[in-house]
Amino acid sequence: MDLRKISYLSAFFLLLLPLRAEDYDLQNSWIVSPSQAKKLVAEGAKVLDARPFVARFRPRLAGAVPIDWEDFSSKKEPNRGKLLPPNERKEAFQKTGLSPNIVYVVVGDPDLGWGEEGRIVWMLRQSGHNSAYYVDGGAKAFAEAVISDIRIQVPKSFAWDFSERESITKEEIQKNKPQVLDVREEREFLGETPYGEKRGGHIPGAKWVYYKDLFQKDGKLLPKEEIRTLLLKRGILPGNVALVCTGGVRSAWATGVLKGAGYIAKNYPGGMWEWASSDPENFPVRKGAL
């Protein structure tokens, strides 16, 4: 049977799966509903506030620990999207008070943020922490939630593991040819460089979906079936997907969304900062129409 037909049949049946936006399987999802997050906190989880500073008081979350993704990332150009090496990252974890034995709930701001909460969760999971989650709808939805009586079971013991299994490198993208989904602004995809990339454009063959198109008007995620439909319309089939943005923040957030929707997703943390600074012959970019 033609492999392309198999792929489209797989996509069709995936779209038929009866999943709802509030149904998150905590054994497999990076995302929790606000009520699930409240329940986790009631059972001892810690809240990390990844919102930009100007947004951390709207609303203010008592007891939440402010956290900045840049504190765990390289300061050197063009690698600002890459995580610190394992030893330095572990020191940064200790300095911030992050422990492998605590469940973390991370909040962001869908309006003012860039998906920083997804970057923090990706970083923790990239480092072996399998019970870190970000909240659908962000801090406002979390603050408004009422603790539900659903029973949630999560592992209580972890260890830092720097095998980096939740990311993909530029070399792996070139060699393995996964589907590439670029989640930057349309102007960036088409060739503008508002955030300092050395060359404008996108990875050849990449598809485009602006990450904020995955939100509803209230700041919560689209239902899973709508996410799948949107991605299918943009040419992304079920299977392996490499997520790309400028420096791995928006794409880390989107990685969690795609995982929750049933895709095999990995974040490319180097992003276009790294790709566009690499050898143009081996790492070309394309400009122009979608």
What domains can be seen in the chain, in order of their start residue?
A: 20-144 (3.40.250.10), 170-275 (3.40.250.10)
pLDDT of residue 163: 87
Question: Across residues 94-103, what is the average pLDDT?
Answer: 95
Question: What is the Rg, in whole angstroms, of the alpha carbon atoms belonging to the chain?
Answer: 18
**Residue 153 — very low, low, confident or very high, per pLDDT cuts 50/70/90?**
low
Mean predicted confidence (pLDDT) in 48-56: 94
Task: Render pLDDT for 158-206 as a digit per residue (tens, 0 to 9).
Answer: 678 988 999 999 999 999 999 999 999 999 999 999 999 999 999 999 9
Residue with tokens 């943020």: 113
62 compared with 50, residue with greater pLDDT: 50
The better pLDDT of the pair 189, 146 is held by 189
Band of residue 154 on the pLDDT scale cut at 50, 70, 90:
low
What is the share, in percent, of the chain residues with pLDDT greater than 70? Answer: 87
State residue 156's pLDDT score.
Answer: 58
The sign of the dihedral angle between the CA atoms of 177, 178, 184, 189 is positive
CA angle 243, 129, 91 (to 5 degrees): 100
Mean pLDDT over 262-284 rounds to 97
Whole-number Å distance between alpha carbons of 69 and 48: 11
Report the chain's terminal Cα–Cα distance, integer Å: 30
Q: CA 93 to CA 99: how far, in whole Å?
A: 7
The percentage of residues in the chain with a pLDDT greater than 90, rounded to a whole number, is 80
pLDDT of residue 193: 97
**Model confidence at 290: pLDDT above 80:** no
pLDDT in tens, 100-140: 999 999 999 999 999 999 999 999 999 999 999 999 999 99
Cis (ω within 30 of 0) for the bond into 100?
A: no
d(CA 241, CA 177): 9
Q: Indicate the average pLDDT of the chain.
A: 89
Predicted pLDDT at 123:
98
Q: How confident is the model at residue 157, as a pLDDT?
A: 60
DSSP class per residue in 124-142? HHHTT---EEEETTHHHHH
Band (pLDDT 50/70/90 cuts) for residue 11 is very low
Nearest to 260 by CA among 14, 10, 3: 14
**Which amino acid appears at position 275 of this protein?**
W
